[in-house]
Chain A
Amino acid sequence: MKNLIIIIVLTFGFFSCEDELDIVNPNALTNESFWQNESDAIKGINSCYSTLHRPGFSRWQPMAYDLRSDVGASFSPWSDLANAMNNFIQSDSNFGPIVDIYFDNYAGIFRANQVIANLPDIEMDEQLKSRILGEAYFFRGMHYYHLASLWGNVALQLEPSSPTDLPLTSLEADVWVQVISDLSEAASRLPYSYNDYNDQGRITKGGASALLGKAYMQIQDYSNAKLALDDIVVGSGASNYDLMPDYYDNFKITSEFNIESVIEWSYIDNPTEITDNDVATANHNYGTSIGQFYGPPGIGFTDGEALRWVVGEFEIETTVANERDPRLPVTFLYDYTDEFGPASTLVYGQTFQQRYGNNNRVFLRKFLHDHIRDFEGFRGINNYRFIRYSDVLLMYAECLNATGATGDAYQYVDRVRDRAGLAPLPTGMSQQDFLEQIKHERLLELTGEGHRFNDLKRWGDLNSSLSSKDSGFNNFQTGKHELLPIPQIDLDINPNLEQNPGW
């Protein structure tokens, strides 16, 4: 009898088996069985790089920066697009292309958050772990950079998402704080360069520092911006960078990952691709389609183009050799891209005159493929140099000027001007005049590369007075249109979120 009780108690006890209730899915790799080793860590961070060729990020986002600024415009027959991208009219906050930008950035943040959360527990080489974490922090910082620039007051997701997350809206200032924190973390962990060719395209210390500098500048913290850029301008990192002798080399597929490239997004062709959705199948499009959307009529959709007044800005100064600024034809495809005029300017195999007659439209050229082929398409392969060293130099000069060291700043501007063949600047400018000069330099150096909107906002120049250059600004309301509207989908689901002011 006593024995029976003992047996019963033992068998009862035997049964409290918690681990036996851990049954892992045998049909597919799960979160529980992943994130175990070095190979998993590398695959995890690789997913972040995949965001770069999602259409919201690779196509609509650069368009949103340039067309909504005073250098670009949209006369697209898709009137909703033209209105949202050019005319500051967007009645539907769920408008597809704008929502795509918002979503792709958050998809990238979700990917980065998974790496950041899961990597610390992996047993692997500590140095490699630190580097990969650096890449992840960079991506999160970069995506929040874009969300802060375009939407300002957004939800901060700093942990891998859970379906019940109902975050509050974080004010723009706080989002910038997060951007700076993440990019600083990234810069401290990343190498200057990668030895293995198979790592070409991974983000470098210089890239993180450059974007960190931009972030500081956006919040007018020029002294910290300068500190962030010190390393790659005057410090030990500077030896990694220089300016390409031929400006055009920054925009051709034949000279990718050159010495001027600080942050570059790779695109290659996948001829059998069937979708742009990078999680639906491995056989997806990893090219860029922005060429198709900027392509001039007959080649692409021309959903975006440039405004003529910028051409005039290039013509103010000639080079030392009394020639036209060589950056003009690289930036724009227009009737005088070839100095001899529309009868000589070639546009994808035909002359400008043949295609458009005496039209004075100006098309943005830096993303196009007309240097190698006579069509565009959705599978563009021209890498996007997001930040170039000339941009870094001009940023550095702007910081020096803003912190009262204008005298030091001239050398950096002159270096950029010199590459373009222009004479050094006359010294002795006031801080205000120097800033105006920098604005002009950035216009000539960086138009059509996705920075103009942020530049205008930083300088406080984003207002309806720009309507003289870009009629879209007639609709610009200060205090509202600096930011895009938060998509109504998110507001409907999460009552904690707030719509941006005025929307």
Chain B
Amino acid sequence: MKKKSLSFIINAPSLLLFFLLFVCHSFSQNQITISGSVKDTEGVPLAGANILIANSSVGTSTDFDGNFQLNNVSPNAKLDVSYMGYINKVISVNGKVLFNILLELNNSFLDEVVVIGYQTIKKRDLTGATSLIDPDISNKNITNSLAESLQGLTAGVTVRNGGQPGQNSQIEIRGTSSFVNSNPLYVIDGMIADANQTINNNDIESIQILKDASAAAIYGSRAANGVVIITTKSGKAGPLKLSISFNTGVQNIPKTWSLMNSRQFADMQTTSFINSGLTPPLSVGANFNPNIDTDWQDEIIRMGLTKDFNISASGGGESSSYFLSGSHFENKGVLIGRSFKRSTLRVNTELSRGKVTIGENILLSNSNTKQPLGSFDTGNPFFDMTVMLPVIPVRGDDFINDLNPGGWGIGNNDAVTFAKNQVAVADILREKINFAKIIGNAFVKVDFLKGLSYKFNVGVEASYDFSKGIRRNGVTQFNAAQRPSFIADNRSGFKSFLIEHTLNFNKRLGKHNINGVVGVSDQQTKRDFSLAVRTDISEVNGQIFTEINSATGTSTSEGGITDHYRTFGYLGRVNYDYDNKYYLTLTGRLDSDSRFSKDNRTGFFPSIAGSWRIIKEDFFDVPWINDLKFNASYGELGIVTLGSFDWQGTINNNTIAILGNIPQVGSYQASLVNPDLRWENRKTQNFGLETSLFDNSLKGSMAYYNTLSEDALVTNLPIALYLGNLGGTPPVNAGSIRNTGFEFEASYKNTVNDFKWNVGFNLTTNKNRVEEVGNRGEGIDYIQTGLTRSKVGQPLGQWYLLKTDGIFQNEAEIDAHNLNGNLIQPFAQPGDIRFTDVDGDGSITDEDRDFSGSSPWPTLQTGLQFGANYKGFDLSLQFVGIFGNEIFNSVRRELDSYQNTNFRSDINPWTPSNTNTSDPRIGVSLNDQGLVDNARFASDRWLEDGSYLRLRNIQLGYSYNDALLNKLGVSGLKIYASGQNLFTITDYSGLDPDVQGNGILERGVDNGNWPSSRIISIGLNVEF
């Protein structure tokens, strides 16, 4: 194709005549030459658009200016014009020789492009289970991190959140397959990094979640928990586009406990003591002070505030594009003493010349977190503020002494409680953390042949974290140990460096399409820290000196390299399809990782996937089905759940030989390590179906998955004495967990009228089953924690608790609860809880704990999104529904133990005249085994239904029309108001059924979980 000049086109009519004459002389059949241009609806030329003569393999592509010429075209021919991302057009030649073809951008889902790891392919060519999330929808939520914004938006992805400023969320993709780690891999613009709270979500262009082996296998040894691929925005060709958005909101805790005030508390506490024949404490009796009525929840909870400011500039020219953004986000937390701030600057550019393209994406991010310093007496505010007594003031002169110069109200002998005064905590224990991070990548791409390109990619993530914590003189808790004040400076650095070479190929031979990538990837990661602590802070005239050199006490220090590892791998993927009808994808990754010993260092992770677009078969002819495709995949993925040096035994220098009558150092490796430590493995199977109906207005997909993890890491196994092992016991890759489940997604879009609306729904079920727990000794096939048991054949972390069975109403019932005449609960009194003697040994012990079928895992997870658009107004709604899980309410257990705590205002203790209640009798548990047993921790009294339905987000906005905009010189203006977590329907009595729990094995424990905030905000988007 020669480059055409503008003049040629202008002279076209005369040339046309010339050609016609020429043609008349040369051929009996009148073949013609056609030419023209292909542009998009805005007049931008489309380079590389394909013009094919229909039903032939003859064709051409447009040049850089969007122009083309095609010879020997039959005047009756049809032209098939296509360009990636645009709707194909079929044009009849009808003897014309000049064509100005305009292509429309394709908003259809199926022609969207998807990044699946080292490749970009069309969504309709996907063979695996990949979820696409529109950042516009996820960004409607004001969140700390990307994971938090994904809650409820797609099937197969479970997100559990918390409301603390800067808090991370727990995200699980298709269940949990490891006893140790359920976090997915994040890839940001090709750089393997962590999408945590230091990233600005507004920079994100697209989010893909790879859920099965088909696409994720290319990340091989790190992909077993799923992969989240994030692409940030890039500039589009055109003049400078400036976009400013501002959003501010108020935040509060939607639900607090209903607790007693000081008068009610005094009355109930008095009743309790009198019931036990004891004198009530002075604080509720003789010395009751009606002026002290502390509402601790009120003292600690405040109105939070969020502010988010974003400005971005993007644009591009013929051979370059750029995207710059800056942002500033602030969150004043809903509890005193906590806040989070983040500023980011992003520069994404791309430049090309001829066959070479270079580009980079870089983010600079600086965050600051303020919170109370974690120490032995920091406590948990959501625990302490409920348990703390209303008869204790926040501060009082009576409390001032040497240990408590601030006079903070804490428990005392007259008002015993071991809760911490959280106002004191925020004052005495303070921490400021600064994260300074740079993350980005740069690449060089060479398209040295048509359909063959080479890319060299370098990625970098470096962060410098500095945490300064101080502990002032003071106490926060009754009878707490006395520790000196101190300053603690913790500096840590993180560096990760990635180098990749990849070769992408793309070839079409008639109806056969083949594309793929081969490459090599090398990543090194290092993390180090140093900690300096000095005791005895100086405070003079109200000024607190927070530098280490100003402290006057003893110094201690620690430091080390906590992580240093390297992963090196060869990767390859081949996608083949025939006529977009039959698809086959083969992927393989060969990885070596320094975290294992030489013998176990290398792993191979293959996968195979296939699809069948049944609608393209001749026998399939249903007019209202636009697309129907079956997918199946199988693959093996891995995940590293170890530290950098766990396979290396360390030398112990503590042994001593007495030789020559003096101690002499002995050294040897005292603790065994497991030299066979290796990857956790996950074999995944996926079967899916995608369909598009009624002119692509209704789309649906279903998938069934079955994954088996093997070599899951198990820790704390008992170890044989004949090994002579001293020190810790090594973890072993001996566990196995199976996850099966069903996913369903459907969406409908109605864009016919002025009132456009769309709705999307997703549903996930997940069944989790422990297959192996390692050799724990004969007969033991489970892992036990305080509240759960993970037993072979059962799901992970099932509740394993004592069973309660109502309240003893009278002595006769206590007597009836016996074994062969011996009372099973000899210390019980009427009004006490009856426990079931499960093992039938005549007493209630830990052996009576049992499974009850209650599970922390939901049976059903659902999400619903609704959007509507009418003449500039738009409304969107997001719902999240989780059903079938049970939560352990530790906070209620504390309240209902009746000991040293405030009470729920609706508590209704049993008395002989008040028997219709589920709350047992109240009293002081000293010397009263019955009361001690009522409050036993590991019992099902504290299990509650955790199902909930929540309106996660509602947003109403208005976009101003062109007329007004032109007057203002602005190309887009939108204002909106939104409510996040507006209401939740649940039976759970705690503050929030969305609970992050206590690790993988106790995922449903509410230990004073920080509830998600309700945020009401308004915002403004302006575009220039």
Please, which residue of chain B has its CB at the minimum distance from the CB of A104? B724
Of A8, A44, A47, A277, most buried by chain B (CB within 10 Å of CB) is: A47
Q: Which A residues have a C-beta under 8 Å from some C-beta of B?
A: 1, 4, 8, 11-12, 15-18, 20-32, 34, 40, 43-50, 52-53, 99, 102-103, 106-111, 114-115, 154-155, 157, 160-165, 167, 196-202, 266-268, 270, 277-282, 284, 286, 487, 489-495
A17, A154, A282, A491: the one within 8 Å of B778 (CB): A491
Pick out which of these stretches binds chain A: B187-195, B663-671, B859-867. B663-671
Distance of A44 Cα from B668 Cα, bound (Å): 6
Residues on B with beta carbons closer than 8 Å to the beta carbon of A161: 672, 722-725
Write the nearest CB–CB distance from A272 to chain B, whole angstroms: 12
Distance of A45 Cα from B668 Cα, bound (Å): 8
- Tell me the bound Cα distance from A8 to B648 in angstroms: 35
Are A489 and B777 also in contact (CB < 8 A) when A34-B667, A198-B662 are?
Answer: yes
The 3 lowest CB-CB distance pairs between A and B, nearest first, are: A110-B724, A46-B666, A49-B657
Question: Of all chain B residues, which has the CB nearest A1?
Answer: B448
Q: Is B108 an interface residue (CB 8 A)?
A: no
A21 touching B593, Cβ below 8 Å: yes
Q: What residues on A are CB-neighbors of B568 within 8 Å?
A: 15-17, 20-21
Residues of A within 8 A of B673 (CB): 163
Please, which residues of chain A bring their CB within 8 A of the CB of B662? 198, 268
CB within 8 Å of A: which B692-718 residues? 718
Q: Report which of A27, A102, A201, A490 forms a contact with B657, defined as CB distance below 8 A.
A: A201
How many residues on chain B are close to A (CB under 8 Å)? 68
Complex Cα distance, B448 from A44, in Å, reads: 61
Compute how far the CA of A475 lies from the CA of B237 in the bound complex, rounded to whole angstroms.
97
In the complex, residue of chain B having the shortest beta-carbon distance to the beta carbon of A147:
B722
Min CB gap A300→B, angstroms = 22
Partner of B644, one of A23, A29, A266: A23
Q: Mark B717-733, 1 if CB is under 8 A from A, else 0.
A: 01111111111011010
List CB contacts (< 8 Å) of B646-687 with chain A: 648-670, 672-676
B740 interface residue, CB < 8 Å from A? no
Chain B residue contacts of A22, Cβ below 8 A: 594, 598
Judging by beta carbons under 8 Å apart, are A279 and B655 in contact? yes
A-chain residues with CB within 8 Å of residue B718 when the two chains form the complex:
489, 492-493
Q: Which residues of A contact B720 (CB under 8 A)?
A: 165, 489-490, 493-494
Closest chain-B Cβ to A202's Cβ sits at a distance in Å of: 6
Q: A30-B650, A163-B732, A201-B660 are in contact. Are A47 and B454 (CB under 8 A)?
A: no
Q: How many Å from the CB of A259 to the closest CB on chain B? A: 17
Partner pick for B667 among A15, A26, A47, A491, CB 8 A cutoff? A47
- Nearest Cβ in chain B — how far from A435, in angstroms? 36
Assess whether A46 is in contact with B667, with CB atoms less than 8 Å apart. yes
Do A266 and B667 contact each other (CB < 8 Å), given the known contacts A30-B651, A489-B720?
A: no
B501 and A44 form a contact (CB under 8 A)? no
Among B135-143, B557-565, B765-773, the stretch that binds chain A is B557-565
Per a CB cutoff under 8 Å, which of B592, B598, B724 touches A111?
B724
Residues of B within 8 A of A157 (CB): 722-724
Partner of A27 from B565, B645, B664, B775 at Cβ < 8 Å: B645
Contact indicator A114/B668 (Cβ below 8 Å): yes
Pairwise interchain contact B650-A199, C-beta atoms closer than 8 A: no
Q: How many A-B contacts are there with CB distance less than 8 Å?
A: 230
**A199→B664 CA distance, assembly (Å):** 10
Nearest Cβ on chain A to B467's Cβ, whole angstroms: 20
Is B601 interfacial (CB 8 A cutoff)? yes
Closest A residue to B500 by CB, please name it. Answer: A15
Q: Is residue B566 within 8 Å, beta carbon to beta carbon, of the partner chain?
A: yes
CB of B709 to closest CB in A, whole Å: 20
**Nearest B residue (CB) for A155:** B722
B658 touches A53 (CB 8 A): yes
New contact pairs (7) apart from A16-B568, A31-B669, A491-B778, CB-CB < 8 Å: A4-B446, A26-B560, A99-B721, A106-B721, A161-B723, A161-B724, A278-B656
Q: In the assembled complex, which residues on chain A have CB atoms less than 8 Å from the CB atom of B645?
A: 23-25, 27, 30
Residues in B neighbouring A198, C-beta threshold 8 A: 659-660, 662, 664
User: Which chain B residues lie closer than 8 Å to A115 at the CB level?
Assistant: 668
Interface contact B665-A492, CB-CB below 8 Å: no
Interface membership of B522, Cβ < 8 A: yes
Q: Which residues of B contact A108 (CB under 8 A)?
A: 724
Of the candidates B522, B657, B661, the one whose C-beta lies within 8 Å of that of A47 is B657
Cα of A197 to Cα of B664 in the assembled complex, Å? 13
Distance to closest chain B CB from A113 (angstroms): 8
Q: B648 and A30: CB pair below 8 A?
A: yes
Asked if B336 is an interface residue, CB under 8 A from chain A, the answer is no
Residues of B contacting A282 in the complex (Cβ-Cβ under 8 angstroms): 653-654, 656, 663, 665
B969 within 8 A of partner (CB)? no
Nearest A residue to B721, CB-CB = A103
For B645, the closest partner residue in chain A by CB is: A25
A167–B722 alpha-carbon span in the complex (Å): 9
Q: Which residues of B contact A43 (CB under 8 A)?
A: 653, 665-668
Q: In whole angstroms, what is the CA distance A387 to B659 when docked? A: 18
B912 interface residue per 8 A CB criterion: no
User: Is there an interface contact between B660 and A197, defined as CB atoms closer than 8 Å?
Assistant: yes
Nearest-CB distance from A280 to chain B (Å)? 7
Evaluate whether A50 and B660 lie within 8 angstroms (CB atoms) in the complex, with A31-B669, A110-B724, A163-B732 already known: no
Complex contact A32–B648 (CB within 8 A): yes
A45 to B729, CA, bound (A): 23
B564 and A490 within 8 A (CB): no
Q: List 18 A-B contacts (CB under 8 A).
A: A1-B449, A12-B501, A12-B520, A23-B594, A28-B650, A31-B649, A43-B668, A49-B659, A50-B656, A53-B656, A107-B724, A114-B669, A162-B674, A163-B673, A201-B658, A279-B654, A284-B654, A492-B778
Contacts of B501 in A (CB 8 A): 8, 11-12, 15
In the complex the two chains form, what is the Cα distance from A26 to B562 in whole Å? Answer: 9
Contact with A along B622-655 (1 / 0, CB 8 A): 0000000000000000000000110011111111
Which of chain B's residues have a CB closer than 8 A to the CB of A4?
446, 448, 454
Q: How far is the CB of A206 from chain B (nearest CB, A)?
A: 17
Complex formed: what's the CA distance from A199 to B657 in Å? Answer: 10
Chain A residue contacts of B16, Cβ below 8 A: none
A106 to B670, CA, bound (A): 12
Cβ B724 vs Cβ A40 within 8 A: no
Tell me, yes or no, whether B290 is within 8 Å of chain A by CB: no
Residues of B within 8 A of A202 (CB): 659
| Interchain nearest-CB distance for A55 vs B (Å) | 13
Contact present for A46 and B648 (CB under 8 Å): no
Query: Does residue B615 face the partner (Cβ distance < 8 Å to A)?
Result: no
- Return the contact of B723 from the options A40, A47, A106, A200 (Cβ within 8 A): A106
Residues of chain B lying within 8 A (CB to CB) of residue A154: 722
Q: B521: nearest residue on chain A (CB-CB)?
A: A15
C-alpha spacing A279/B653, complex, angstroms: 8
A70 to B393, CA, bound (A): 72
B520: which of A1, A15, A279 is its contact (CB, 8 Å)?
A: A15
Mask of B769-785 contacts with A, CB within 8 angstroms, 1/0: 00000010111100000
B526, closest chain A residue (CB): A23
Q: Given A44-B668, A489-B777, are A28 and B651 neighbors across the interface (CB < 8 Å)?
A: yes
Does A21 contact B653, Cβ atoms closer than 8 Å? no
Does B663 contact A270, Cβ atoms closer than 8 Å?
yes
Complex CA–CA separation, A158 to B620 (angstroms): 70
Please name the residue on chain B nearest to A157 by beta carbon: B722
CB atoms of B719 and A46 under 8 A apart? no
Check if B650 sits within 8 Å of A200, measured CB to CB: no
The verdict on A278 contacting B676 (CB below 8 Å), with A31-B648, A268-B661 known, is no
**Any A CB within 8 A of the CB of B956:** no
Residue of A nearest to B596 (CB): A21
**Is the beta-carbon distance between B676 and A164 smaller than 8 angstroms?**
yes
- Closest Cβ of chain B to A52, distance in Å, is 8
Closest A residue to B649 using CB positions: A31
User: Cα distance A489–B777 when bound, in Å?
Assistant: 7
B656–A110 touching, CB < 8 Å: no
Quick one: which of A44, A164, A202, A491 has the most chain B CB within 10 A?
A164
From B454, B593, B730, contact of A8 by CB (8 A): B454
